[in-house]
Structure 1
Amino acid sequence: MRLCFLVEEHYRHDGMPLDVARQLTAWGHRVDVLRPGDSLLAISETVRAGSHDAWVLKTVSGGPGLTLLEAAAAVGLTTVNDVRSIRGVRDKALAAVIARTRGLPVPVTYAAARWERLAEIPAAEYPLVVKPADGSSGRAVRLVPTPDHLLALGPELEREGLLIAQPYVPNSGTDLKVYCVDGEFHATERCSPLHPGQAVRERQVPLAAEVARIAAQVGEVFGLDLYGVDVLLGPDGPVVVDVNDFPSFRQVPDAVARVAQAVLRLARSGTAVSAPAPALVGAYGQLGYDRDEFGAAI
């Protein structure tokens, strides 16, 4: 099969998904790695029917990779995950609405394009967790204890675009991360970015039945196949605080092989055009070591 991996600069040296690309190459598949944030693209020629059997995205939320993935879907190519599902979780404000509407346990979520409007949130809702609606990898997540602290954060928040705020869920200071790979669930525990003083390194932990049920429901609600769910164990039970469409899969046994197999299965079961891939012409920028390691750079 011929696959295209869209890898943002933030993940240029990340084992996931580059190790997956290496594994697929070792299995005899053609893998082109495209860096959408550092390339000049003749996009109408690069993204066209028959170019690849499937496109896989590993990018930051606000990066250009999602546009390329949507372009691939628009011409009938298979994407991993489904591009509509990715869009649904990348926008955290949209994801909160979808999740609550479908009965998932998520906090009440406020959204504001101007940080000053967050000051209208009742004091009884504090402490708050405030973050960008397009954030990823824990970027700019802030614990705001009081309204006065919100005012002090104003200059920083002003640069973040659409913001969401949720009442803080009391917890032990650790996050539970549940990874789904091909219908199998794996749980890890790690230090919360809101509690950096905790000394808990990410480690595998048993997956409780209730958390497994919620994680499975997340996949069904958002239509995801490969994904991660951040869960807090609050006083009233598990609470979903984030969903990631292509996480790191850290601590998942044989993660590289498992994810590679899942990508192949999804590519084969999709709607990709099966005609031979046409030659791609033109110079599309410096793509680093991908040319030699994975196949022809595009």
Structure 2
Amino acid sequence: MGRPMGGPRGELRGDLRVGLITGNPGHPLLAAAAGVLERRGCRVETVPLDGGVPRGVLADVYLLKARTPQALALAGELERSGAAVVNSAAATGLCQDRVRMASLARGAGLPFAATVTAGPLGELADQAYPFVVKSRHSRRHDLVALVDGAARLRELAERWPQEEVVTQPYLRSSGWDQKLWVVDGQVFAARRRSELSVGDDGVGVAQEWEPSARRAALALRVGEVFGLEVYGVDLLDGADEPVIVDVNAFPGARGRAGAPEALAGLALRVAAERGRVPV
């Protein structure tokens, strides 16, 4: 689904290098893509996050998987040194702030859930229940929770008193989140049990799912608006149309067949655009 992508044709010119900006080079998607690239004769190297711009010749393309401030700063330095970084530091950083994310999406006409800045969770006043509360700054193990009453709000506030949060309306669903991942125009998808709807035993369980053409087109439009090449879109069913509730830069695309090959193809395409590989 999405724009068809074949691998670049012909022989590599020289020793093409791909840098991984990540704290976990063994991540399944990265490791599998690295294997594809290495079989094509590429050198794949993990870039130390604390070493600044590597000395010597820059890699032909860098894949920015980590989203920490340290990783974003390194990616920005590499870009200023003339390197190609996917996704860009700016696009990745934008997806870390849910207020900016929602503002950009809604300004571009995307059906993004109404997202309200609420300040520190410990200061959040009672409001109409139920609603969803999320960390304003998206990161691993951030806060995403359904608040169905005052007792739940107090419980969360005790655990996360200083956490800067946003609120979104709660959209009743089947209990399955619609996950769409896009890699260089290819759309991959699955449904996953929602942490907002079930107990811990069911969270994360995946189910095969084929999105409609409308949902796939919406996911591709998100990439155009946000300037992303590798990203995820979380959808729920609204009253009249699908509603976007989150956008993630460089997600894991867990277990999606073809995703590692698409990511390797993306790295080679970016290198080709810089004259390093024939297409």
How far 1:140 sits from its partner (Å)? 2.2
Identify which of 265, 270, 273 aligns with 1:261.
Answer: 265
Q: Tell me, what secondary structure is at the counterpart of 2:41?
A: coil
How far 1:222 sits from its partner (Å)? 0.4
Matched, 1:31 2:35: no
Q: Tell me, what secondary structure is at the counterpart of 1:119?
A: coil
Identify which of 61, 82, 93 aligns with 1:87.
Answer: 93
Closer, same or farther: CA 55–151 of 1 in aligned 2, 3 Å: same
CA distance in 2, matches of 1:80, 1:100: 24
Identify which of 208, 212, 228 aligns with 1:224.
Answer: 228
Q: Which residue of 1 aligns with 2:4?
A: none
Alignment map for 1:47-66 (pairs within 5 Å): 50-59=57-66, 61-66=67-72
Structure 2: state its 5+ residue gaps: 1-15
Identify which of 110, 113, 120 aligns with 1:107.
Answer: 113
How far 1:181 sits from its partner (Å)? 2.0
Structure 1: state its 5+ residue gaps: 275-298
CA distance in 2, matches of 1:258, 1:225: 11
Report the AA paired with residue 220 of structure 1. Answer: E
Q: Which residue of 2 aligns with 1:205?
A: 209
Q: Which residue of 1 aligns with 2:54?
A: 46
Closer, same or farther: CA 158–12 of 1 in aligned 2, 3 Å: farther
Q: Tell me, what secondary structure is at the counterpart of 2:218?
A: helix
Q: Which residue of 1 aligns with 2:13?
A: none
How far 1:138 sits from its partner (Å)? 5.6
Matched, 1:143 2:146: yes
Report the AA paired with residue 59 of structure 2. Answer: H
TM normalised by structure 2 equals: 0.84
- Whether the 8 Å contact between 1:53 and 1:267 is mirrored in structure 2 is yes
Q: CA RMSD in A?
A: 2.3
How far 1:153 sits from its partner (Å)? 1.8
Query: Mean Cα displacement is larger for which, 167-176 or 105-114?
Result: 105-114
Q: Tell me, what secondary structure is at the counterpart of 1:177?
A: strand
How far 1:233 sits from its partner (Å)? 1.8
How far 1:63 sits from its partner (Å)? 4.6
Cα deviation 1:167-195 (Å, max 9, x = unaligned): 11111111111111221212211111212
Report the AA paired with residue 4 of structure 1. Answer: G
How far 1:142 sits from its partner (Å)? 1.3
Report the AA paired with residue 165 of structure 2. Answer: L
Closer, same or farther: CA 14–257 of 1 in aligned 2, 3 Å: same
Q: Which residue of 2 aligns with 1:67?
A: 73
CA distance in 2, matches of 1:137, 1:173: 22
Q: Tell me, what secondary structure is at the counterpart of 1:258?
A: helix
Report the AA paired with residue 132 of structure 1. Answer: S
Q: Which residue of 2 aligns with 1:283?
A: none
CA distance in 1, matches of 2:235, 2:84: 30
CA distance in 1, matches of 2:264, 2:239: 38
